[in-house]
Structure 1
Amino acid sequence: MKWKTLAVAVMLAALPFAAGAVEPDEILDDPALEARAREISKDLRCVVCQNQDIDSSNAGVARDLRLLVRERLVAGDTDAEVIEYVRARYGDYVLLKPPFKPETYALWLAPALLVLFGVGTVIVVLRSSRKRQVAERLSEEDERLVAEILAAEKEGRS
Structure 2
Amino acid sequence: HVVDLDGAFAGKPENKEAVAGILAKHPELPVQLGGGVRDIATIDAYLELGLRWVIIGTQAVKEPEFVTEACRQFPDQIIVGVDAKDGWVATEGWAEASTVSAVEVVKRFADVGVSSIVYTDIGRDGMLSGVNIEATASLARETGCP
TM-score band, normalised by shorter chain: under 0.3
The normalised TM-score by structure 2 is 0.25
Taking CA–CA contacts closer than 8 Å with sequence separation of 6 or more, which of the two structures ends up with the larger relative contact order? 2
The normalised TM-score by structure 1 is 0.24
Report the structure, 1 or 2, having the larger strand content.
Answer: 2
Structure whose alpha-carbon radius of gyration is higher = 1
